[in-house]
Each structure stands twice: as C-alpha cells, then as structure tokens.
Amino acid sequence: MLMTLYPRYFGTNPLPMHTYLCIRHGFLRRFSFPATVKIAIDKPVSCSEQYYYTNLLSSCKNLSSLKQIHGRLIALGLESDHSLEAKLLNLYSVYHGSVGGRLIFDFSKTPTVILWNSMIKVYNKSNLYREALVLYTDMLKQAIEPDNYTFPFVLKACTGSLCLEMGFSLHGEVVKRGFGLDGYICTGLIDMYCKFGYTEFAREVFNKMSERDVVAWNAMISGYSQVGDPKEALKVFREMQMVGIEANSVSLLNLFPSVCWLSSLVLCKCLHCFAIKREFELSVFNGLIDLYAKCGNVEASRRIFDRLLKRDDVSWGSLISAYSQNGYSVEALEIFGVLKRDKVRLNQVQIVGALLAATDLRDIEKGKEIHDYLIQRGTSLDIEVSTTLITMYAKCGNLNLAKELFNGIENGDLVAWSAMISALAHGEHPNEALQFFREMQNVNLKPNRVTIVSVLPSCAEISALKLGKSIHGYVMKVDMGMGLDVSIGTALVAMYVKCGCFSHAKLWFHEMPCKDVVTWNAMVNGYAQMGHAHKAMETFRHMQSVGLKLDSSTLVGLLPSCALLKAINNGNCIHGHAIKLGFESDLHVMNATIDMYAKCGCIGHAEKLFETEFVKDEISWNTMIAGYAQNGRPKDAVSIFCWMREKEELQPNLVSIVNIIPAYAQLAALNEGKTIHSYIKNMLTMSSLRKNAHSVLLSTAGIWDALIRDSPYLIGLGSYDITGPAADVNMMGYANTEQVASGVHFRLRARSFIVADSGGNRVVFVNLDACMASQLVTIKVLERLKARYGNLYNVQNVAISGIHTHAGPGGYLQYVVYLVTSLGFVRQSFDVIVDGIEKSIIEAHENLRPGSIFVNKGDLLDAGINRSPSAYLNNPAEERKKYKYNVDKEMTLLKFVDAEWGPVGTFNWFPTHGTSMSRTNSLISGDNKGAAARFMEDWYEQNQKRAQRMHSSLLGLSLNQISEIPRRVSWMISDQNANHKELIELAGSFQSPGGRPVTKLLGVSQRIRNSLKMSGHPSFVSAFCQSNVGDVSPNVLGAFCNDTGLPCDFNHSTCNGKNELCYGRGPGYPDEFESTRIIGERQFRKAVDLFNTASEQLKGKVEYRHTYVDFSKLEVSLSGGNGKQEVAKTCPAAMGFAFAAGTTDGPGAFDFKQGDDKGNPFWKLVRNVLKTPDKEQVDCQQPKPILLDTGEMKRPYDWAPSILPIQILRIGQMVILCVPGEFTTMAGRRLRDAVKTALINGGNGVFDGNMHVVIAGLTNSYSQYVTTLEEYQIQRYEGASTLYGPHTLSAYIQEFNKLATALTSGHPASPGPQPPDLLNKQISLLPPVVVDMTPPGTSFGDMDTDVPKNASFKRGDKVVASFWSACPRNDLLTEGSFAVVEKLSETDNKTWVPSYDDDDFCLRFKWGRPSRFSTHSYATLEWYIRQNAVPGVYRLTHYGAAKRIFGSIHHFTGSSSAFVVV
C-alpha cells in the first residue's frame, strides 16, 4: 500500500514516514484559502481544471498560498499531473519549500529527469546540498541518465556542501558523458573550482571552452576576485573586452572585490566611467558607492549618491555603511537622522549601519535614539538587530542595558544567548561573557557551535585555561559532531595557544581529524605571537610539508615575530616563500615584509622592497615612514611623508601623523612640526573622525601646543630588568671570592631618561642597578644604539652610571683586576646588562613627548657618614670650614612632567655607598639605592595612580583595570576570629599540586608590576643615582670591633691593629636587610618630599661635551702657592697596600695577596704577570706604597684602564659631571666648584650662581677612587685606590675645565684617544650548568619542605617553603619572577591572584645545591608578611627553568599548600 502511495519513498532519501502522513493530513485538514484564492477556487470554471490551476499557480505569491493550492490539488487528485508536478516543484524551489517539493517528487509515479533536476534544484535553493547530492546518487542508482541541466545543479550542491572529492568525480562524469564542452556545465565547473580556491583548474576548464559567454567570463572574474587574486581578475576583465564580449553589470559587480583588494582609486574611477558610459543599472552604482568607500574615498561615494536619479534602500544603506566603515560615524548618523526625519521606513541594513556608527563613536545617546526609533516603530527586533543593539550597549560600557535587552528577548533561546555572549566577548568583556556562558548552562541550554566559537576567545583573553579546558571537555562529551568541527577545533587550538598552554594546543591540533589553513595559522601565529619564533617556523615548515595551501595570513602572522626577535634570517626565508607562492602583489604580505625588514634594522631591504612596483596603501607608506624614523633616518622619513602627501595625493591618517612626529622631533624641525601641528588642527575640525582618533589627535595637538608654548623639552623615560645570574657568579664590589650569588632579594633595573631641547640636542642618562659602569658595556651599548638610531645617540651624549650596589653579579667589566674574583668574564652578566640598557633607552626614546623638568634640592642628614674621617681632616682647615659636614648631605632631584600625563618619573643624585648589604650576603639586591627606587615607584603607582584611576573610573573608562589591580595593601583592621575557621578549612582544600611544566610566559605574566601598568601610559620611573661616594658609608652607626664591641681605631679603622674585625654598622644592625630598607627608605622619603615640592623649572639648552683622557701620563698644570705655575704628572695606575686592607664597609676587600690563590683558577692564570714597579713609578706614586702595579700589567690583557671618559651633560641650569670613579666628598666639591667657576666665567651670562652641578659617579667606565692631594697623603683605602698618583684629582679638574670651556665657547671637545675594546680577549672560567636533576620520585617544582599543615600566620611572621628546583642561570626570567606569593581570590575561591613577586622587598628567593657538584638543587621562598598585608588564603609559588641532559631548557612551576594569613 505504502509502496503505491509513495513510490519514491523506499531506496531514496526519505523523510520519516510519520512526517509524510502528517504533512499530507495537514494539507488536507488546513484547507483554508486566502480570500482571493478562495474566490478563484469557488468560482465555477469554464476551461479545463488543469489549465485553471496552472494559471492559479502562476499567480501564487508565497509559500503558504502555494501549500494551500497544493493541498487543493491533492484533494482533487490532480497532483500527479505531469505539467502541474513540474510547475509545483518549480514554485517550491522559488519559495524554498523542500518538504512540499519532496512530497510531490515522492508522489510522482514516473518522475522524469526534469523532475529529478527540479528536485535537486529545490534542495539547492533550501541550502540542503547534501540531500541534493544524495538525490543525484539515487538518480544514478535508478539508472536515470542525467542531462546537461542536471550537472550545473549538482555542481552547485557540491560547492554548497564543500565536497571537493565529489566535485572531482562529477567533473569526470561530465567528461565521460560528453558534456565537456557544454557552456552551462563548464561555467558550473568554473564556479565550483573557484569557490574551492582552485583557480588554476577553473582556468583550465575555461580555456578549453569553445564558446565563452559573458556568464563564463563573469564566473572567472568572480573566481579570481574571491580567492584574492585581483591582478588576474583584472586581466580576465580586459581579455574579455579584447575578444569582444561586452561586460554586463554582473561583470562589474564581480570585479569590485578585486578593486577593493587593490584599494586602487584609479581603478575605481575607470570602472565608474565605464559604468556611466554604458548606463548600467542602479545596482552597479550602489556597488560603486560601496567600492569607493572601501577604497577610502567616501567623498566620491557621496558624489555618486548625490547624482543618482533614482535611489533605493540599498543606495541609502550603502551610503550609511560607506560612512560608518570609514569612521565617518557622525555622517552615518546624520543620514540616519535625515531618513528618520523624512519618515522613510528604514530597512535593516540602514539600521544596523547606524547602530555600528553609534557603537564606533561609543555614542550611547545616539544608540538609544536608534533603539527608541525601533521601539516606536513597533517592529519586533530580529536577531541581527538585537545583537547589534546588545553589542552597542556592551561596547558603550552599559552592560546593564545590554543585559536588560537580552532579558527582553522573548524565549531567550540558544540564538539569543549566543548573541549575548558574542556581544560581550566582542565588547571586550570576557569575564561577563564567561559568566553568561555559565548561566546559560544553568538554564539548561546546551551551547552550540556558535556559542562555543564565540566564548573560547574570551577564555583566551583572560587566560581562563580551566574553563577553556572544561569547554573542550564539553565539546568532546556531547559530540554533536562538534568534535569534528573545524572552526571549533581551531578556536580550541587558538585558546590553548593564547593561554600559553602549547602542550594542549599541540595535542589537540594533532588529534583534529581535519584542519584547514586557519587551524594551521592559529598554531603558527600562536607560536609567533608568544615569541617562539623557531617553533613557529618549524610548524610553518610542517604545514608546507603536508601540502597545505598557505594563505597570506600565514605569512603576515609570521613576519612580525621575526621583526620582534630581529630574526632576519627567518624573515628572509619567509620573504622567499612569499615570492615563491606569488604573494608579491599581496599588499598585506608586502607591508608586513617591509615592516619586518625595517624593524630588523635592514632599512635598505625595506627601501628596495618599497620601491618595487606594487599598489601601495596608506599602511605601506606609514610602515616606511615609521621604518625610517626608527632607523635613525628622520630626514628620509620626512621626505617620504611629503612624497606621500604631494605626489601620491594620499591624505596622511592618524598613524602617519603619529609616525612622523618623532621624525620631526628627532630633527627638532620645529617649523615643520608646526605645519604638522596645523594639519592636525585641520583634521580635528573634520567631523568624520572617530572619537578615539579625535582624542589621540587632540593629545598630539596638545603636545605640540605645549611644546610650542611652554614645554621646553621632549622627555622620555624607560626602565628594564637587568637582574643577572642568581647562582654561581661572584658578586661585584667586595671582591670576596666566597660571596657568590644564590638567589634574589629584589630585582635590578636599568632606568633611563632622554631629554631633547627644541634645537634637537639631546642627552641620555642611564642609571644602572650595578656596582659601576663598565667600559666594555658602554662600548657595546653605543654600538647597538648606532645600529638602531644612527648617530642620534653616541658617545658624546649618552651617560651610563652605576649605583654601586655590592650585591649584583660581576664579570661584566673589561679590565683584569675587576674580573679576578668572578673567575673572569661572565657573558650572561654582561649580556643582560647591555640588553637591559638598550631596551630601557628604546623605551625612553619611544616615550619621548613634550614636557617640563623641575629641579629641587634638600639635605638628607642620616643616610651617610664619612668612613675615612682621618683622611678628610687632612684637607686644609680653611676649606673644611666652608662646609657643615664631612660628607655631602645634599640630594638634587629632577622631576619629569609629561605635558599631558603629568609626572612620569624622577632621578636624583645623592652620595652613599651601596654597602648596606654586607660582604657575606648572597642574594642579588639593589642595596639601599635600588630599594629606594623600588619603594618610590611602588609609592607612585599605588598612591598617585590610584587617584587617577578613581578619576577615570568615574568617567567609566577603565572599570576593567580597577578590578585587576591586585589588592596588596590593607587598611582594614581584621576581625581575628570572624571566619578564621572557615579560612583554615578553605586553605586545607588546597594541597600542594606538585611541580608541572609551564611556558616561560606564564611566569612572566605573574609579575605584579606588569598588571599594575596602565596601558598607553608609561610606567613611573624613579632612579636614585650615585654621586661623590668615595668616603661615604651608609653604615651610619659607625665602625665597631666585632670582638670587643668598641669603636675601631680612628686613624686606621683597626681593632688591636687588625682590620678584619672592624665593621661598620647600619641602622638595622645586625640585620643587613633591615639596614638596607632603612637607608633606602630615608632616601625615598627625602626624594618624595623634594618631588612633591619641586617648583624650579629647568630652562635653557641641552648640551654635552665628552672626551677620553689618557690618565697614565698626563701633564697637569698646578698653580703654586706664590702664583707660579708648576707642571706635575699623573702616573700609570697602581694600587697601594691600604687597598688590600679594605674599608669598614668591607674589610679586606680585593684581598688577593700573593699566595692567596686557593681555589681561584683565574688568579692562578694571571698572578705570574705581577710586576715589580720601577723607580720612576714608585716616585710618581709617592707616598703610596705600591701593592699592584696594575697600570703596567698587560697580560693576558690590560689589568687597569689608562684611557678614561669624562663628560658634561647640561639641561638648562642643571649640569651633570660624569666621572668614571668614586670621588671622595672633598674631591667632588673641588671638581664641582671648579666647573661652576669655569662655566660662569666663560658663559657670557648663560650661567649664574643658580646653577645646579651634580657629580654622577661610576659613570661610563670604572677606575676606582679619586681623593684630594691631602687625603692621598694619609693613604687610607680611598687614597690607596686612587690609581694615577697624587695629582689624579688635579688632572680631572684640568680636563673638566677644558670641557667646560668647549661648552661655553660652542666648540667641540677633542675626542681624545680611544679606549680599547677587549671583548674578544676576555677569558671565562666559570663552568656552565651541566644538567639539572631531581631526586628519584620527584619532579621539578615538587615540594622539598612544604608549609606546615593547616597553618595560620600573623602579619610580621615569616612563611618558608622549599621546592626541588634547577639552576637559575638556565633562564634569568628577565622581566619575570622566580617567586610569587599568590592570594586566593575571594570572589570565586578558585583563582590564585599574584600578590608579591621576587621584585618585592618582603619576598626572598634563595637557591642552593646540597653540595657543590650536585645536580640537585632547591629553591627556598621566604615571605616576611608585612603589617599591611590583606588577610586571606595564600600560597607560595616558584618558577624555574631546568637544563635537560641534552641541553634543552624546560620551564616549570610548583606551589606550596595553602595557608591562612590573619
């Protein structure tokens, strides 16, 4: 029975049986016609029923009336009439009614091939491509011969169902059945191949066609346009005209995407003319509106629109989106206003366009107006409009309205939820997106593809790896085929990659059954973005080896990472691929390649590439402008900028302006700068700007306003981590072989400022958390700056000064005598310092903006005492009478104020030794000056910026940032017992998870100060610089004998004649950390005071003079007592006996007397060259008894410097004297006075008594001490370490006078002799890390000693935990952290929020091996809970890097069990 009723039912592609019955019954039951049809049916008919119904069907206007007529036909038994069948089926195809269509088809007794074709067409129309293909296979099975009409439909189904295999086999069928030359079929094949991206196959088919009509040509044009091969598309378009085929409107519309791709206004104009001449229809002109807009010429779009005789909805819609796409949001909204006013009923495209414009402007008022309009109109919002509205509210920051709107959506179904989640995700509210995702599951809705694809990026955004993983689990569990979905798979890979979880990404990537090029790109670009350039390249090669077609975004994604890593070889290689793959004409690839070359410093390559023939867009020009500016070629940047404006008639955009301004600033071309300034002002009057562009321009304009009006300087500050190896390396300063680094107290940094005046002169000052500057470091930094900026920064205007901490890793100096205890040169120490200085200068350079500088001075009494008062007393009484103290107590501070952002940093100079940490300390530390800098930067970030943040939060600008600031300080008085029990229980649920591998990045992201940083705003930089520190000790309690506790002998600092027992005591004695904190805090408080009250502004030129002087044989003119000039000489360097005795800060420093060579191979190597000084040298150095004649020892290379740099930097009335040594108090005073006098006398009124002269000690190179002639006679430690004899200071004064004269007279200083570059001669004897291991059964990061179970600590307590670890030399974790204190988030009781890291004073990272040659090692974390710590649940986490047996480095982490702080 069924077989006869439904003959097609079996063996085909059936609907379920009950559906059939229901449908049929439904048709019969719901037998109600619309009035018109009903009348027609009820009317008696004169002609045949068949004819009547054929006519009736022709008047059928929609699916429902069609269904009713169909029902009537079924009732009348006419449904199987052949002609009616075909007619019905065609109508079903028009109205996308696949079910009804199938009913007819299945009911047909002998379906003809026409009917089969029609049914396939019905499926196609309803996007049921797979069903169409199945039907085709059935057709073949039933031996129905397909005809030439069948194939175009089936090919379309193939394309629709993305079934390439089937496509190939169809092509075979076509040829086999002799349809190979059929125009329609060939066009179908072309279309299919193009849509699969195989244009070469399409072209082959096309070439073989005997007759090509316009449709075939159009298919070819469209194909090339779609795959992004615009040149070919244009070629085909031209060919077509050559062979005399007239292009129709479709040809043009197909070509438009290509023109768009090329962004060529010339082509736009050509096609525009073409269209006008041939009087094309409206759709073409609408397309042109869109095209001009996409090529950036909105004015042209507007002109076309204005000249249209007829306009339809699309014209208006095109204009609105033309405006909104180009950021002319104001105009877009204006048109919306016009349409609204004229009561034109707006269509969806127009409304969505207007909403996008409002979103873009963040104009919630306008957005609401559109929303109101929709409400007034009373139409129910469809999902696209709702989503756009929700997105608008979300992006405008009104999450409540977005949510309200969402809740208002009737039947909040899956689509609505997905829309809301995606709105939040795209509105940059990842947290809320995830929250909604969770809520959605709570209401028992199962996320679908769309939801999952839109929520995964949110996980990545906030690194919610756990949730990401659970979504992954969900996808695998529900298996709605989602596990196989390429876009979900790709989103998962991207999520893992962005969370830094490469192992999962890789695993899942390999498991994915099918991947497309986007998936591969996610992997490649993920590696690239995370800085794993090699992995990226490896994956990239793998991608090629599997024969996947690369697309341009693969290359575009890889190139920036090459640029970032300066990996020019990789860059070259990718450029090669681009050429090979024919992406030379791809604009994005070209731009990225040029950018890569420019950033790698190969500006020549970039230039050549830029000069090749390709259609350039604004980005190309901007890239080149920026490239020139960054590579120190401001003139070229300016000329190319002018070229772009004048010859190419391209309007510079925001980026061009931002890129060109530094070039003008570099040239200090104020007049040209003013031109740009007025240009910016013009831009500001254009209403078309986006709001954010407006504010950027406004600030830029403001900057130039300020520069022209009252900001006399450009200022820029920068800072970078230079913490060296925290293991095995000797500390620089005390020269105590036993003092070897084994952990971190807090991190070391290089902090820089750059100041330029309006004449373009500039100076750079770098303050280094290191014991001293090093000639070799200076040379290498200057080389790098030259490579990067040309001559902008050079030996003349760059000063690098050390703070004199005695707790930093050594081995980075040039001369032998300073390398003995570090076992020679230590490359890692050297590299991290050179890198850090360079990075801090780059940052300062990039931060250069107009601003002002204020200077302030004040006395700080309790941070330094004289440690050689007996020597000081030998200075003339008359001279001493002029000064209240026997050390300089004055701190001189510069405050840098950005014209827009306010204070951006401060540098001060104050003398006191970096010897608060003792000669037995082994933790890397910046000592008191590093501590002061850390305190002051934290003070500013936490207190000052907090105020700013509060302010901006009121403006609704950075709500996100506020919640992200880790709360590290509590103002609450905790209620001790309130929830103590619960907290203990909560803590108890977090046992130590054991060690696990991590990517390095995760460790870096835990760094507290990274999250404190406000985006777009430079960090506050505060530096505490060293001055004439020679005889100033921070151990202010005085020197005492360790055995008797009595003060040491005044003249010799000895205890019963022995120096080893005499130690200076800091204010925190006996706790050196406490002493460091107190002396640091005293400097910090004074600096804050001076910072807050600074009011004297620096005014005047920026100038500098620098020279090298050979101090080993310098003639010095001395004015004798009777006015007679005497000539004295300096001597080759030599160190006296008192040098070996050391000082009270470090008794026995450099204590390497002959014979004391135990355990130091470097000393063994060099001791044989010890030289006995000749008589001339002995006489010259009198009264110094010579211990080491270092100046005359040249093997294995120079022991001591003889050529030294001296330098004067001037910023208005501030003068900085850069000296390569430690001047004593009185020596410094004499030098300052002498230079001051010389400047006033020679300066023609430029300088007066209100000048501020500071000494920057230990700058550019190092040559130990400089005392006065009188102090030299006493031969204390400082006198014995004054290398070049009694007249060393006089030599300095004489040479500085020359520099001062050169400065006032405007003449250059003589460059002097060049110091040697001894890098290639350096000898390193420090053994490398061989391998790291853990005891059997443990892994890296596992606990060695956990915190006690159920522990609870009070503030002031110390928490200790130790982990199995590896040597910190494997990775210095620069800008990262070895140790973190994490606090359990109170909001979710799940997330661990970093609260303190190894840059915090209260957290110490200690590292050690059980024995010297053990491969095992452990890391101990000690947290001293501060009084203002926030109560809660905490844990200690350690990050490290282990070296495997084959030398590869693997990062790991581990955490202690949780504990409570009350």
Q: Nearest Cα to 790, choosing from 991, 635, 597?
A: 635
- Distance between CA 513 and CA 317 in Å, rounded? 42
**From the CB of 806, what's the least distance to Zn ion, in Å?**
8
- Distance between CA 527 and CA 558 in Å, rounded? 9
- Distance between CA 923 and CA 743 in Å, rounded? 5
**From the CB of 1266, what's the least distance to Zn ion, in Å?**
11
Residues 6+ apart with CB under 8 A from 657: 676, 679, 680, 683, 697, 700
Task: Tell me whether residue 365 is annotated as binding.
Answer: no
- Distance between CA 1231 and CA 1222 in Å, rounded? 13
Q: For residue 959, with 0-12 CB atoms within 10 Å meaning exposed, 13-18 middle and 19 or more buried, which class applies?
A: middle
- Distance between CA 1063 and CA 330 in Å, rounded? 74
**From the CB of 1146, what's the least distance to Zn ion, in Å?**
9
* Residue carrying the six token digits 């200083």: 1309
Q: What is the 3-state secondary structure (H, E, C) of 1-14?
A: CHHHHCCCCCCCCC
Edge-first strand order for the sheet with 1214-1218 is 1102-1110, 1203-1211, 1214-1218, 1252-1256
Instruction: Please give the positions annotated as active site.
Output: 1033
Q: Which of 1028/1420 has CB closer to Zn ion?
A: 1028
Secondary structure letter of residue 162 according to DSSP: T
Q: Which of 735/1419 has CB closer to Zn ion?
A: 735
Residues 6+ apart with CB under 8 A from 1446: none
Q: Which of 586/1222 has CB closer to Zn ion?
A: 1222
Residues 6+ apart with CB under 8 A from 114: 86, 149
**From the CB of 1267, what's the least distance to Zn ion, in Å?**
12
- Distance between CA 833 and CA 449 in Å, rounded? 50
- Distance between CA 508 and CA 527 in Å, rounded? 15
Q: For residue 611, with 0-12 CB atoms within 10 Å meaning exposed, 13-18 middle and 19 or more buried, which class applies?
A: exposed
Q: Which of 1142/1315 has CB closer to Zn ion?
A: 1142
**From the CB of 1149, what's the least distance to Zn ion, in Å?**
9
Widest pairwise Cα distance in the chain: 145
**From the CB of 920, what's the least distance to Zn ion, in Å?**
17
Contact at 8 Å (CB) between 824 and 812? no
Q: Nearest Cα to 1284, choosing from 1314, 1255, 1264?
A: 1264
Q: Which of 222/1143 has CB closer to Zn ion?
A: 1143
Q: Which of 1222/1398 has CB closer to Zn ion?
A: 1222
**From the CB of 717, what's the least distance to Zn ion, in Å?**
27
**From the CB of 804, what's the least distance to Zn ion, in Å?**
6
Task: Tell me whether residue 51 is annotated as binding.
Answer: no
- Distance between CA 333 and CA 1183 in Å, rounded? 88
Strand partners, 1258: none
Q: Which of 1222/1271 has CB closer to Zn ion?
A: 1222
**From the CB of 929, what's the least distance to Zn ion, in Å?**
13
Strand partners, 1102: 1211
Q: For residue 552, with 0-12 CB atoms within 10 Å meaning exposed, 13-18 middle and 19 or more buried, which class applies?
A: middle
- The residue of the chain with the least Cβ separation from Zn ion equals 1222
Q: Which of 617/927 has CB closer to Zn ion?
A: 927
Q: Which of 331/1222 has CB closer to Zn ion?
A: 1222
Give residues in contact with Zn ion (CB under 5 A).
Answer: 1222
First to last CA, the chain: 83
- Distance between CA 209 and CA 206 in Å, rounded? 5
- Distance between CA 531 and CA 1068 in Å, rounded? 44
Q: Which token pair is 803? A: 């703070």
Residue 649 Cα distances to 617, 642, 645, 693, 697, angstroms: 12, 10, 5, 21, 21
Q: Which of 79/1222 has CB closer to Zn ion?
A: 1222
Task: Tell me whether residue 804 is annotated as binding.
Answer: yes
**Cβ count within 10 A of residue 492:** 30
Amino acid making up residue 175: V
Task: Tell me whether residue 913 is annotated as binding.
Answer: yes
**From the CB of 913, what's the least distance to Zn ion, in Å?**
6
Question: Which H helix or E strand runs over 1216?
Answer: strand 1214-1218
Q: Which of 217/1272 has CB closer to Zn ion?
A: 1272
Contact at 8 Å (CB) between 773 and 1260? yes
Q: Which of 898/1222 has CB closer to Zn ion?
A: 1222
**From the CB of 914, what's the least distance to Zn ion, in Å?**
8
**From the CB of 1222, what's the least distance to Zn ion, in Å?**
5
Question: Which H helix or E strand runs over 1007?
Answer: none
Q: What is the 3-state secondary structure (H, E, C) of 918-930?
A: CCCCCCECCHHHH
Q: Which token pair is 463? A: 């690194």
- Distance between CA 1053 and CA 1141 in Å, rounded? 10
Secondary structure letter of residue 1313 according to DSSP: P
Amino acid making up residue 1175: K
Q: Which residues are annotated as a binding site?
A: 804, 913, 1222, 1265
Q: Which residues are annotated as a binding site for Zn(2+)?
A: 804, 913, 1222, 1265
